[in-house]
């Protein structure tokens, strides 16, 4: 059964935070606005990233939304109040920084896309390592229809994930895609009737593995992105060498030879 995080937490107004068997579940809670990313909500997402880093029990993080949306986009009412390019640029930089906080978390992150993931919502999902979509989910970057472009990382993360041509198709048309099309495009990793339940199953499969190895694997992939292959392989070799010195590696190899389940301690 899910338990509320027992250490002292900020007083979140627009999200909830629970820890269940090593998996932190962050639920965006602005259902009346389809969980749109207001500035206050964005600040809370940045705060919750700090909480996650401080919690030694968290091995995986799941982001999801309350109601029929994951996150339906940025708060259009707030965007409409922006008066000049400087203010707009600052808004984008803030949003990018928040997504960067999620992207840089040292543990695996999963977006459980329970409904609409549009604009900033898809950008939040793209900042996660893995994405599980409900069969009812709709995904897209519709900003050009508002006279804008994606500003929280969408023009950069989506092409890196699915390729330039496919990404520009979605960005130029602003169209919404179904969960099945998102799967075929490579935007999401899995599709399920219940995205959160499937994300919890995925988290459980991840949590069976060594925590330090998971963190090092994520670091290797992240640091290797954008490097020449030879340089990236050096990064991998360095981190492999570090992993080989851990107690978890000793436990994992010993358990394999003794034909038993390992008991990892993150050391």
Q: Which one from 143, 225, 234, 258 is the annotated catalytic residue?
A: 143
Which class for 50: exposed (0-12), middle (13-18), buried (19 or more C-beta within 10 A)? exposed
User: Is residue 193 flagged as an active site residue?
Assistant: no
User: Is residue 143 flagged as an active site residue?
Assistant: yes
Q: Which one from 11, 20, 123, 181 is the annotated catalytic residue?
A: 123
Return the closest-CA partner of residue 220 out of 210, 230, 233.
Answer: 233
Instruction: Report whether 91 contacts 42 (CB < 8 A).
Output: no
Bridge partners of residue 27, in order along the sequence: 16, 64
Over the range 112-145, which residues count as b (16 or more CB within 10 Å of their CB) and which as e?
Answer: bbbbbbbbbbbbbbbbbbbbbbbeebbbbbbbee
Catalytically active residues are 123, 143
């Amino acid at each position: 059964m899910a338990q509320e995080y027992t250490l002292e937490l900020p007083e979140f107004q627009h999200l909830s935070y629970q820890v269940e068997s090593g998996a932190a579940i962050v639920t965006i809670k602005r259902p009346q606005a389809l969980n749109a990313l207001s500035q206050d909500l964005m600040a809370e997402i940045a705060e919750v990233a700090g909480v996650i880093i401080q919690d030694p029990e968290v091995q995986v993080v799941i982001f999801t939304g309350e109601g029929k949306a994951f996150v339906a986009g940025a708060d259009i009412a707030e965007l409409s109040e922006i008066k000049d390019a400087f203010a707009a640029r600052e808004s984008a930089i803030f949003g990018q920084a928040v997504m960067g906080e999620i992207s840089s978390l040292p543990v695996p992150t999963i977006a459980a896309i329970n409904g609409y993931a549009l604009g900033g919502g898809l950008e939040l999902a793209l900042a996660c390592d893995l994405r599980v979509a409900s069969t009812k989910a709709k995904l897209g970057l519709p900003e050009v229809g508002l006279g804008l472009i994606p500003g929280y990382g969408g023009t950069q993360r989506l092409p890196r994930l699915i390729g330039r041509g496919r990404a520009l198709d979605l960005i130029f048309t602003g169209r919404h895609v179904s969960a099945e099309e998102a799967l075929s495009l490579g935007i999401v990793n899995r599709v399920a009737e219940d995205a959160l339940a499937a994300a919890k199953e995925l988290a459980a499969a991840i949590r069976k593995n060594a925590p330090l190895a998971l963190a090092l694997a994520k670091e290797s992939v992240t640091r290797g992105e954008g490097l020449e292959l030879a340089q990236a392989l050096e990064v991998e070799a360095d981190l492999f060498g570090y992993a080989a010195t851990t107690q978890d590696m000793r436990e994992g190899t010993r358990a394999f030879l003794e034909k038993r389940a390992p008991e990892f301690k993150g050391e």
